[in-house]
Amino acid sequence: MNFEIPRKFNALINQAQQVALEVFRPISRKYDVAEHEYPVELDMLASIMDGMNDGDIKGGAGAAKLKQDNDSEDAQSIKNGSNMATVLGLTELCWGDVGLALSLPRQGLGNAAIAAVANQEQLNRYKNTWAAMAITEPEAGSDSANIKTTAKLDGDQYVINGEKIFITAGGRCDAVVVWATLDKSLGRAAIKSFVVEKGTPGMELVRLDKKLGIKASDTATIRFENCRVPKENLLGNPEIDTQKGFGGVMQTFDNTRPVVAAMAVGLARASLELTRSLLNSAGVIAGYADPVNNSLASEAELYRMEADLEAARLLTLKAAWMADNGLPNSKEASMAKAKAGRTANHITLKCAELCSTLGFSESHLLEKWARDSKILDIFEGTQQIQQLIVARRMLGKSSNELK
C-alpha cells in the first residue's frame, strides 16, 4: 500500500483546513452555548461547499457526493475518488468543529444515503436537497433490522407511519431519508429507504433534543402519520429480496461509517495537537528519543495516543479506498468506525485530564471536544454493533447465527 495522500486532494484538504480554521473555530464556542440556534455563518459556505463537491476529483468535503466511482474509469486501475475525498475533507472540517460540520447545508448523512443507492433520476432530482437520515426509533436503536415504521403501497404512493428519533439536522434539512418496512413479517429484507420532503402532510417535527455535545447540530424527533410520498421516492429496488436482505439500505453504512471515522480522526487530532502545545508551554516537550517506559508519564500518554490515532486514520483511509475501488468493505468500514470512535473518546478525555484545569474550563475547547467525541462512538452504529459486525465477517457467521 502507498500511504501517501494523492496530490490531487491537496487543494480540497487546504480548502477544508481554511474553513475549519477561519470559520468553524471562531464560532465553535458560540454555538455550543446557543444550542438549537442556526449557525447563519454557514450560509455563505453553501455555494463554496457545492463547488468543492462538484470539482474534478468527483468528491467533496462533505457527504453529499459520497458514491462509488467505478463506472467512469478503467476497471483495472486504482481509484481514489469521492469516498477518499469525503473522508479527507471531513477530517479537516471536524478538526474545526464536528457540530458545525454536521450543520453544513446539503451535506447531511441523508445525502450520502441518496448517493449510495439512488438511481440517476433521483440523483438529479435531489441534487440540491439537504437530506437528513431517519433510522433510529424509540424501540429500535442499534438493532436497525427491528424498525417498526411501516410503508404501505397505496396506488402510486407509499403511506408511512411511525416515529423516528435522534435525526441529525432533522429540524433544518429539506428532506429526510426514512427507513421503513414494507412487510414486518418478512424481516430485514423488507426494509427500504424513502425520501420524505419537509412539508409533506402527515410529517410532524415533534421536538429538538438537548444533548451532551455537538450542540451546533440540531437533533430531532419526527412523527409520520399516514404520510404519503410518491412511489418514485423509494431509493433502490422496490422488490423484496429475502436472499439479499437489507440490500441497498445497508450499503449506506458501508459508505458512511468511514465518514464518521474520519470525523473522529479530525476531532482527536485537534485535541492531541492542542494538548501537545499546552504541555510544551509548561515545559513538557516530547522528544521521542527515550523508550516509552523511560519517559515522563505525560509524554508516554502522548506517544500512545499518537499511535492509536495513526492506526485509526489508516483504517479509515483503507475503508474509503476500498469503497472507491468497488471492493466489499463492510468489515473494514466497521473496523474503522469502531477504532476511530473509541480512540476519539479516549484521546479527548485523556487530553482534558492531562491539561488539568485548562482541560476542564472553557478557556480552551478541550472540554467541548471531550463532550463532542462521545456521539462519534454511537451514531452510525455503536461500538458494540461494530464489533459484532467485524466478528460476523471474521467468523463467516450470519446475523441469525451470531447475535
Strand, coil or helix: 162: strand
Strand, coil or helix: 195: strand
Question: For residues 89 and 226, what is the distance between their CA atoms, to the nearest angstrom?
Answer: 39
Q: Measuring CA to CA, which residue among 277, 260, 257, 270 is closest to residue 374?
A: 260
- Tell me the CB-side half-sphere exposure of residue 339, using CA atoms within 13 A: 24
Those residues with Cβ within 8 angstroms of residue 129's Cβ, 6 or more apart along the chain or in another chain: 106, 111, 114, 174, 175, 195, 197
* Grid coordinates belonging to 329: 468493505
Which of 92, 137, 163, 380 is an active site residue? 380
Asked whether the CA dihedral 90, 94, 99, 100 is positive or negative, the reply is negative
With 0-12 / 13-18 / 19 or more C-beta atoms within 10 angstroms meaning exposed / middle / buried, residue 200 is middle
CA 193 to chain centre: 18
Question: Is 380 an annotated catalytic residue?
Answer: yes
Contact 98, 22 (CB under 8 A): no
Q: What is the DSSP letter of 160?
A: E
Contact 187, 135 (CB under 8 A): no
Angle at 63 between CA 59 and CA 64, to 5 degrees: 75
DSSP one-letter string for 203-215: EEEEEE---SS-T
> CA 28 → CA 47, 94, 271, distances in Å?
21, 11, 14
* Phi, psi for 337 (deg, rounded to 5): -65, -45
Q: What is the DSSP letter of 178?
A: E
Q: Which residues are catalytic?
A: 380
